[in-house]
A and B are shown apart, each in its own frame.
Chain A
Amino acid sequence: MTATATSWTFKKPSVLPGFGLTFGFTVFYLSIIILIPLAALLIRPWELGLEGVFNAATAPRVIAALKLSFGASLVAATINGIFGLLAAWVLVRYEFPGKRIIDALVDLPFALPTAVAGIALTTLYAPNGWFGQLLVPLGIKVAYTPLGVIVALTFIGLPFVVRSVQPVLADLEKEFEEAAATLGATRLQTFRRVVLPAVLPAWLTGIALAFARAVGEYGSVIFIAGNMPMISEIAPLLIVIKLEQFDYAGAAAVGSAMLAISFAMLLAINMLQAWARRR
């Protein structure tokens, strides 16, 4: 069990054993579970030909679904951006009864299965639900509308901003804020000029992560959305529908389009994190 390829500069020499075995297994497992299946996704649509792929990806129903998925995700990420920053501030800086519980609860969307979240939110916002009863008389329909999609995506993306900003805020030296106060800045000025610039990369990273998660979300959305074509049908659901009609190439075309956009998001997130590290 010795390391392989020590003569080539592929790997720096090390006395530790097991590189060949663990690296080989990692690459093998990654390839069969992730890379080869994803390659199948990217190859499949081309059996339709260039024009066919273009038509499949730009059909009005597909465009409407992509617009809804990305639009609702953007709104949800913005809501989480504002309230997540506020929640992170409160959880780091203030003390209040029940703080630990609130803090632990923030991770609920990571732990609660999405289907459970979906049916619970639908029950709450349905016309006869706890919130629906209050909102429907006001003319606000949430369940079975795009608004319901936004509610579900806000739920699913809630932890990202809080958890990205929290450690940065906790590590922020008090001295900077004290200096700002000594120089006559108000609390609001201090926040805007001192605290906000420091947490900005982490904040944007959190928003981007929440957005990326929301775009692909399926389980929590399909129950509350009502799934009306062109109105409240999300892109992942459209993939499922195409699969059920045995339109493999069409499903793969929508999937590839989503994947391409996700890759762009991943790249942006990595660049944000690199920026955060440099500061």
Chain B
Amino acid sequence: MSTRTYRPPTKDSPAVRWTLSLIAIAYVSLFLLTPLIAVFAEALRNGVEAFFAAIVEQDARSAIWLTLIVAAIAVPLNTLFGVAAAWSVAKFDFWGKNVLITLIDLPFSVSPVISGLVYVLLFGAQGYLGPWLDALGIKVIFTVTGLVLATVFVTFPFVARELIPLMQEQGTAEEEAALSLGASGWKMFWRVTLPNVRWGLLYGVLLCNARAMGEFGAVSVVSGHIRGLTNTMPLHVEILYNEYNFAAAFAVASLLAMLALVTLVLKSALEWRYGDEIAAAHRH
């Protein structure tokens, strides 16, 4: 009798398994892991003291502050929109629904640079509304308002596209039951709809926030790169890097990389723990 262990016909031989696994690990490590390690290695190249000096420096602090403010405005706006859009799209049937869904997804297929450009064309000095707003003393481009608008544009679909498939899947039966038992519209929303989608909502907010804090192309176009005033963290990284101040650039960049890692950990935890309560596409 052969000592060879039985292998089902749908299982690949160990040689194939190991070769393919190693190629996959090499692919992910080469393109993803090494850049991540490089960020932290470069940030600490001149020692821990230089690292902290670069982070607490005046311009870096105002960049961190500005990034937090922009995200604190853009993320709640798009969350509110996401919930409203998901409610109307997922729970009702109306004419042109698919067109609406496509339009909501549109910002994902627009270059970030174009997302900034459109606001310059509207509100810039030579923009359609620029001179008119200027007369009223309102400035959009090269101000925080412009940064918020550009960030709202690029993070527009995140919450909506998480909630729409999830709420479509859940149907309307539970809401109808709540109404028939005498709940008001708001009560039904807070007690039935929101608890049903909370993890999906959190998932969308998490991704929306990561993109809002890390966005570069769109805000770069509308920012004007005024140090201490309209410089978010990614823009500050660019300025430091272009000044050949590599250690400081990577120090600020490492904060953003840590944000990315925290996002990934939370995201994986949500997928793992609440996989059946977030949209079907993420269950793996």
Question: A16-40: which have CB < 8 Å to B?
Answer: 16-19, 21-23, 25-27, 29-30, 33-38, 40
User: Is A78 interfacial (CB 8 A cutoff)?
Assistant: no
Question: B257-284: which have CB < 8 Å to A?
Answer: 257, 259-261, 263-265, 267-268, 280-281, 283-284
Whether the pair B95, A11 counts as a contact (CB closer than 8 A) is yes
User: Is B20 interfacial (CB 8 A cutoff)?
Assistant: yes
Which residue on A lies nearest to B176, using beta carbons?
A15
Q: What is the CA–CA distance of A16 and B189 in the complex, to the nearest angstrom?
A: 10
Whether the pair B91, A16 counts as a contact (CB closer than 8 A) is yes
User: Is B112 interfacial (CB 8 A cutoff)?
Assistant: yes
B202 to chain A, nearest CB (A): 15
A83 touching B27 in the complex, CB below 8 Å, given contacts A113-B260, A170-B284:
yes
A243 touching B117 in the complex, CB below 8 Å, given contacts A110-B210, A113-B256:
yes
Q: What is the CA–CA distance of A216 and B216 in the complex, to the nearest angstrom?
A: 13
B143 to chain A, nearest CB (A): 16
B64 to chain A, nearest CB (A): 13
Taking CB atoms, residues of chain B closer than 8 Å to A216 are 109-114
Whether the pair B264, A44 counts as a contact (CB closer than 8 A) is no
Taking CB atoms, residues of chain A closer than 8 Å to B16 are 187
Instruction: Pick the contact of A218: B121, B149, B216 (CB < 8 A).
Output: B216
Q: What is the CA–CA distance of A129 and B84 in the complex, to the nearest angstrom?
A: 48
Whether the pair B20, A94 counts as a contact (CB closer than 8 A) is yes
Which residue on A lies nearest to B36, using beta carbons?
A108
Whether the pair A259, B114 counts as a contact (CB closer than 8 A) is yes
Whether the pair B118, A38 counts as a contact (CB closer than 8 A) is yes
Q: What is the CA–CA distance of A266 and B107 in the complex, to the nearest angstrom?
A: 11
B149 to chain A, nearest CB (A): 7
A40 touching B122 in the complex, CB below 8 Å, given contacts A14-B91, A120-B39:
yes
Whether the pair B264, A107 counts as a contact (CB closer than 8 A) is yes
Instruction: Pick the contact of B234: A90, A115, A131, A166 (CB < 8 A).
Output: A115
User: Is B138 interfacial (CB 8 A cutoff)?
Assistant: no
Taking CB atoms, residues of chain B closer than 8 Å to A108 are 32, 36, 260, 264
User: Is B58 interfacial (CB 8 A cutoff)?
Assistant: no
User: Is B132 interfacial (CB 8 A cutoff)?
Assistant: no
Give how many A residues have a beta carbon under 8 Å from the other chain's beta carbons: 104
Taking CB atoms, residues of chain B closer than 8 Å to A200 are none
Whether the pair A167, B28 counts as a contact (CB closer than 8 A) is no
Whether the pair A266, B102 counts as a contact (CB closer than 8 A) is yes
Q: Which of A10, A27, A105 counts the most B-chain CB atoms under 10 A from its CB?
A: A105
B86 to chain A, nearest CB (A): 8
Whether the pair A109, B32 counts as a contact (CB closer than 8 A) is yes
User: Is B31 interfacial (CB 8 A cutoff)?
Assistant: yes
Question: B136-186: which have CB < 8 Å to A?
Answer: 149, 152-153, 156, 172, 175-176, 179, 185
B269 to chain A, nearest CB (A): 10
Q: What is the CA–CA distance of A263 and B267 in the complex, to the nearest angstrom?
A: 30
User: Is B199 interfacial (CB 8 A cutoff)?
Assistant: no
Taking CB atoms, residues of chain A closer than 8 Å to B59 are none
Question: A149-202: which have CB < 8 Å to B?
Answer: 151, 154-155, 158, 166-167, 170, 174, 177-178, 181-182, 187, 190
Instruction: Pick the contact of A212: B10, B109, B261 (CB < 8 A).
Output: B109
A255 touching B117 in the complex, CB below 8 Å, given contacts A30-B104, A105-B32, A178-B9:
yes
Taking CB atoms, residues of chain A closer than 8 Å to B259 are 111
Taking CB atoms, residues of chain B closer than 8 Å to A102 are 24-25, 28
Taking CB atoms, residues of chain B closer than 8 Å to A116 are 39, 214, 234, 237, 253, 256-257, 260
Question: A89-120: which have CB < 8 Å to B?
Answer: 89-94, 96, 98, 100, 102-117, 119-120
Give the interface of A toward B (CB within 8 A). 1, 3, 9-12, 14-19, 21-23, 25-27, 29-30, 33-38, 40-41, 44, 83, 86-87, 89-94, 96, 98, 100, 102-117, 119-121, 123-124, 129-131, 151, 154-155, 158, 166-167, 170, 174, 177-178, 181-182, 187, 190, 212, 215-219, 223, 235-237, 239-240, 243, 246, 248, 251-252, 255, 258-259, 262-263, 265-266, 270
- Identify 22 residue pairs between A and B in the complex whose beta-carbon atoms are under 8 Å apart, listed by A's number: A19-B94, A21-B84, A22-B85, A25-B84, A27-B100, A30-B85, A33-B152, A37-B119, A89-B20, A111-B261, A113-B234, A114-B216, A116-B214, A116-B234, A119-B250, A120-B36, A120-B38, A167-B284, A218-B220, A219-B220, A243-B117, A255-B113
